Amino acid sequence: MRIGSLFSGIGGLELGLERAIPGAHTVFQVEQNKYARAVLAKHWPNAQRFDDVKEVGAHNLPACDLLCGGFPCQDLSALNSNGTGLEGSRSGLWGEFARIAGELEPRWIIVENVHHTWRRWVPSVRRDLYRLGYASVPLRLSAADVGARHRRRRVFILAHPDGQQLRKLPRWWSRQDGQGAPESAKPNRWPAPPEPCRAPHGLSHRVDRLRCLGNAVVPQVAEVMGRVVMQLEEGSA
């Protein structure tokens, strides 16, 4: 399965998906942050990389089977008093995600963003996906569900052109309350958590590292999403 990644950060989404889906490989990544792109280049040397989501599309992106990404959340935040949501200059980049999805027509789409203000984005994103011909379902999952010592709750919208495909979701998602993942679906590797603040003052790129870690998707959570996609794929075989 070929994976395309938008708003890639340091690659947490595609890392987890590649772990879960046999043979999956990332063919392109789009990320504006220079330091994050350097991290991506180290771990995905064979993927094509781009720095501006507004400048990519079917004319220069390779085809992919699964398109994933977490568009900027700043305008969705409860701390954002102007309430711009998807009309904001940053979270409004969801429109570029939707445009690219419409041009590439991948088999699967995974959209990730914050949980606590989901009403500001989930209904609109699902409507846009519907207009593109995709059925979708929102799935709630937190880092704590996969064994982390922090919550980091997120909503993942899983989309596919065939709505019947999504009706085959594993039974453990029926509650959709963020606590659904059973032991059998959880990743089998969870290394000791890093201590990003241990770096001495003045270490090169320390601020960049901390910012990228703070914005990253937890790979073990993305791995659960990959396992869901695999179960649905196998169910259609």
Active site residues: 73
Comparing CA positions, the residue from 128, 157, 148 lying closest to residue 228 is 157
Rounded-to-integer distance, Cα 57 and Cα 53, Å: 8
Rounded-to-integer distance, Cα 184 and Cα 47, Å: 31
* 122 contacts 159 by C-beta, under 8 angstroms: no
Rounded-to-integer distance, Cα 159 and Cα 157, Å: 6
Comparing CA positions, the residue from 132, 138, 73 lying closest to residue 110 is 138
* 194 contacts 150 by C-beta, under 8 angstroms: no
Rounded-to-integer distance, Cα 6 and Cα 130, Å: 20
Residue-by-residue DSSP string for 112-149: EEESTTGGGTHHHHHHHHHHTT-EEEEEEEEGGGGT-S
